Amino acid sequence: MYVPAHFAPDDETVQELLAHHGAADLITATPDGLVATMLPFLYDRERGTLLGHFARNNDHWRLPVLGEALVIVRGPDSYVTPSWYASKAEHGRVVPTWNYLTAHVYGGMTVHDDPGWVATLVRRLTEHHEAGRTAPWSVDDAPEKFFAGQLRAIVGVEITIDRIEAKFKLSQNRPAADIDGVIAGLRGSGETEMAVRVEKHRPH
């Protein structure tokens, strides 16, 4: 990945992105060519893995993997109009751009066609995403036989992380007044999450 120095996040920031993402694109090279599937993933920082599951009817998990797997994790993104820049009024030498957060996670892929492994994963995924809700749902709320049937319809996947390349492009290369304009513009257009990110990562 092309990552200019001013867009390179520190390790803890990358860890935060992985810990709070929901789904990501898994891409593998196979004898049939490149294959991609969007999957729910859970980051296990202690073990250095991403854990997810395929629909059993998705042939992706059955295909041999040539080399390493790639998981593309995306954070929020937004269009940035040059109209937000103070520089526009000063000299006009400005163009539109796109702000975004992304991490490319590379590693070996292991398939887990095991009901116990998958059941544990589904429980962990559910607890992760239900946390903080007023009335969190639990897998124990579903009838046992029904839940067992649902588990048979999915297959687990584990990515053992070898390396991570990340890029947080958040207007860090702009003058302070332009960054102020981007933050105000994002807030004004309702993109509060991106505004917070730009503020958090602005150069000091």
Chain segment 155-184, per-residue pLDDT in tens: 999 999 999 999 999 999 999 999 999 999
pLDDT in tens, 75-98: 999 999 999 999 988 898 999 999
pLDDT > 90? residue 150? yes
Please state the φ and ψ torsions of residue 65, each to the nearest 5 degrees.
-95, 125
Residue 55's pLDDT is 97
Tokens of 29: 């090279």
* Tokens standing for residue 19: 């810990």
The DSSP secondary structure of 87-149, one letter per residue, reads HHHHT-----EEEEEEEEEEEEEEEE--HHHHHHHHHHHHHHHHTT-SS---GGGS-HHHHHH
| pLDDT value at residue 200 | 95
pLDDT of amino acid 89: 84
Q: What is the mean pLDDT of the chain?
A: 96
pLDDT value, residue 168: 98
CA–CA gap between residue 166 and residue 10 (Å, rounded): 9
Q: What predicted TM-score, i.e. pTM, was given to this entire model?
A: 0.92
CA 182/CA 196 separation, integer angstroms = 11
**pLDDT tens profile 29-72:** 999 999 999 999 999 999 999 999 999 999 999 999 999 999 99
Q: Please name which of 22, 50, 20, 24 lies closest in space to residue 37, comparing C-alpha atoms.
A: 24
Q: Which tens digit of pLDDT belongs to each residue from 126-149?
A: 999 999 899 999 999 999 999 999
pLDDT score, position 169: 98
pLDDT of residue 102 exceeding 90: yes
Helix, strand, coil distribution of the chain in percent, nearest 5: 35, 35, 30
Q: Tell whether the model's pLDDT for residue 5 goes beyond 90.
A: yes
Phi and psi at 108, nearest 5°, equal: -80, 145
Domains and CATH numbers, the chain: 5-77+96-172 (2.30.110.10)
